[in-house]
Chains A and B, each alone.
Chain A
Amino acid sequence: MRRSVIMLIVLLSLIAAEIQAADFSESGEQNLLLFYSNDVIGETEPCG
């Protein structure tokens, strides 16, 4: 019984991983946000 439960969990996690890994190749597109910054130091504000 215990062995069957473990096997079921393993099987389900494999299916979940497969679903997650497969979706970009299936849908073929993904929207995402890319936030970027550079040379941040030196940020100024009124000192006083």
Chain B
Amino acid sequence: MGGLSKKAFQLKKIQKLHELPYLVLDAGNLLFKQERLSPGLLMQAKITAEGIIDSYNLMGYDAVSVGKNDLAAGLSFLQEQAAGSKFTWLSANLVSKSNQTPLFTPSLIRKVGSLSVGIIGLTNYDGSSRFQENEDAVIVPWQKVLPKLVADLASKCDLLILLSNNGTKQNEEIAASFSNIHIIIQSTPGSRNTEPLLKNNSLIAQIGKQGKYLGWMLVNWQKSKIWGRTGATKELALKKQELDGIIGRISRMERRAQENLTADASYQNLIATRERLLSEIILLENELFDLKESGQAPSTFENHFIALDINLPDQPDVEKIVNATKQRVNQAGRSQAAEVNRIASKPELQIENLGFTGWQTCTACHTAQTEFWQRTDHASAYQSLAEQGQQFNLDCLPCHVTAEFKDLKIGDNDTALLSLPAALQQVGCEVCHGPGKNHATSQKSSAISRRPEVSICIRCHTSERDETFNYNNDIEKIACPASQR
């Protein structure tokens, strides 16, 4: 959630700088990481979701479309949250199974400066049902709802925006079908920063996942309601830029010239280019002026991505919400830990049954190696989490303890992470070398992995968490001294 306070700061900064009317929109997949959550993760994930909504309320969001991941804690949870949100949750195609009425607001109209802007939300449709038997809900394909809705809004609005949880292919089909949807903002799994793509008369925009960026556009919307297709505006800007360069070169030549330049071929070429560019610029400016006069001037945009870098300033009120949310998550984890301890007699939750033994067992035979390891950050990984008050946060824990992701991250066992014995409360030997119980008993080297594969490291050293991680370089920093045995 850390990026939210930085995003809030940038939003205010840009709004203040430009002093223009604005809209703040989100295309969904806002609250949860997956379509389904295991019961153990649900409590903490819900608290985080509430914190995100509180932050969005403060940031002045206008609308968010319902993404399929936003339904992970159940339809009723999202409906409760929607009722308490200051922004509007939009979905035109998430409807009641019994009577086909929308379960969320399908669309809204906002006055932005002199414009009436229509905004529609779409939830991802892939044909599968993600609802419980007792939930009266179904997602219908966009073809069933958009034609009527777009026709209605197009007659009332100057600009029409679709927030779509569908993939690029479906959004391109939508763009091809409706020339009066002018902007499509999409949320798709694995999304990354992409310059807005013009399809038919729709700009399709998206930014990278995990809230690492804020996208914004400065839009000049014209009565023509069409995006610049001739490229005249861009061409004009390029020609002006080229002309600046030519004029600069001409001036430098004239300053340095010892004699008359009339006989200098390169100088004459530059003069000829300058004249050509000037006449082309005048023609383009006339063309654009005529288009504008006739109401046919194309609309234009400038797109920007702001990386929400860790060093950027935070908006204090949103930062306060983020910190309070993290505290609530940790507190919930602490209560879960007490419950896990109470039921820890279940064999599937007993950590020794997962094959681990703890780093102290390794010390007996590998003293130099464990002494070296104790000086690395891996040894204090859990401690550093505790110092941040996040040692019960199930989002953080998997990368700060000795455990196997496949056993502890997914399924009902995830909460077992909350009650690990002290011997496993660090990124210990067995994270890199694999569970060591068999090796400790048999002392066979075949029962242990000598060097961790890159796949093990990048479970935690992802590009999001560790941008500078380089397996070949970093493996040397944690490589244990050679064994004497």
Q: Report the nearest B residue to A23, measured CB to CB.
A: B114
Q: Report the nearest B residue to A42, measured CB to CB.
A: B210
Say how far A23's CB is from chain B's closest CB, in angstroms: 4
Cross-chain contact B2 with A29 (CB below 8 angstroms)? no
Say how far B5's CB is from chain A's closest CB, in angstroms: 10
Instruction: Tell me if A43 counts as interface (CB < 8 A to partner B).
Output: yes
Instruction: Give the interface size class of chain B.
Output: 35 or more
Cross-chain contact B223 with A34 (CB below 8 angstroms)? no
Q: Within residues 1 to 48 of chain A, which ones have a CB less than 8 A from any CB in chain B? A: 20, 23-25, 27-48
Q: Which residues of A contact B385 (CB under 8 A)?
A: 47-48
Cross-chain contact A42 with B209 (CB below 8 angstroms)? yes
Q: Report the nearest A residue to B217, measured CB to CB.
A: A34
Q: Within residues 364 to 397 of chain B, which ones have a CB less than 8 A from any CB in chain A? A: 381, 384-388, 390-391, 393, 395-396
Q: Which residues of B contact A40 (CB under 8 A)?
A: 3-4, 26, 29-30, 52, 210-211
Q: Which residues of A contact B29 (CB under 8 A)?
A: 38-41
Q: Report the nearest A residue to B45, measured CB to CB.
A: A41
Indicate whether A42 sits within 8 Å of B399 (C-beta atoms), given known contacts A28-B295, A32-B219.
no
Q: Which residues of B contact A27 (CB under 8 A)?
A: 114
> How far is A29 from B296 in the complex, measured between Cα atoms in Å?
11
Say how far B167's CB is from chain A's closest CB, in angstroms: 12
Choose one: B212, B216, B384, B399; the contact of A36 (CB below 8 Å): B216
Say how far B19's CB is from chain A's closest CB, in angstroms: 10
Choose one: A20, A25, A44; the contact of B465 (CB below 8 Å): A44
Instruction: Tell me if B278 counts as interface (CB < 8 A to partner A).
Output: no
Indicate whether A33 sits within 8 Å of B185 (C-beta atoms), given known contacts A38-B191, A40-B30, A42-B210.
no
Say how far A44's CB is from chain B's closest CB, in angstroms: 4
Cross-chain contact B396 with A48 (CB below 8 angstroms)? yes
Cross-chain contact A42 with B218 (CB below 8 angstroms)? no
> How far is A43 from B210 in the complex, measured between Cα atoms in Å?
4
Say how far B96's CB is from chain A's closest CB, in angstroms: 26
Indicate whether A34 sits within 8 Å of B22 (C-beta atoms), given known contacts A40-B29, A44-B2, A45-B2.
yes
Say how far B145's CB is from chain A's closest CB, in angstroms: 20
Choose one: B216, B297, B384, B390; the contact of A34 (CB below 8 Å): B216
Indicate whether A43 sits within 8 Å of B4 (C-beta atoms), given known contacts A34-B219, A36-B217, A48-B387.
yes
Choose one: A32, A38, A43, A47; the contact of B23 (CB below 8 Å): A32
Cross-chain contact A34 with B25 (CB below 8 angstroms)? yes
Q: Which residues of A contact B128 (CB under 8 A)?
A: none
Choose one: B22, B31, B390; the contact of A41 (CB below 8 Å): B31
Q: Which residues of A contact B220 (CB under 8 A)?
A: 29-31
Instruction: Tell me if B478 counts as interface (CB < 8 A to partner A).
Output: no
Say how far B181's CB is from chain A's closest CB, in angstroms: 14
Tell which of B7-15, B227-235, B250-258, B352-360 binds the partner.
B7-15
> How far is A36 from B31 in the complex, measured between Cα atoms in Å?
16
Say how far B68's CB is from chain A's closest CB, in angstroms: 11
Say how far B4's CB is from chain A's closest CB, in angstroms: 7
Q: Which residues of A contact B113 (CB under 8 A)?
A: 24, 30-32
Q: Report the nearest B residue to A40, measured CB to CB.
A: B211
Indicate whether A39 sits within 8 Å of B210 (C-beta atoms), given known contacts A45-B310, A47-B393, A48-B388.
yes
> How far is A20 from B2 in the complex, measured between Cα atoms in Å?
40
Cross-chain contact B216 with A35 (CB below 8 angstroms)? yes
Cross-chain contact A38 with B185 (CB below 8 angstroms)? yes
Cross-chain contact B222 with A29 (CB below 8 angstroms)? yes
> How far is A48 from B326 in the complex, measured between Cα atoms in Å?
12
Cross-chain contact B210 with A35 (CB below 8 angstroms)? no
Cross-chain contact A37 with B207 (CB below 8 angstroms)? yes
> How far is A36 from B223 in the complex, measured between Cα atoms in Å?
23
> How far is A31 from B385 in the complex, measured between Cα atoms in Å?
47
Say how far A16's CB is from chain B's closest CB, in angstroms: 13
Instruction: Tell me if B338 counts as interface (CB < 8 A to partner A).
Output: no
**Can you name 8 extra interface pairs (CB under 8 A) apart from A31-B113, A41-B69?**
A30-B221, A34-B217, A35-B24, A35-B214, A36-B27, A38-B209, A42-B33, A48-B385
Supply 20 A–B pairs (Cβ within 8 Å), ascending by A.
A20-B111, A24-B115, A25-B223, A28-B222, A30-B115, A31-B219, A32-B20, A34-B23, A35-B23, A35-B25, A35-B214, A38-B191, A39-B187, A39-B210, A41-B33, A41-B48, A42-B33, A42-B211, A43-B211, A47-B399
Which of A's residues lie within 8 Å of B, judged by CB? 20, 23-25, 27-48
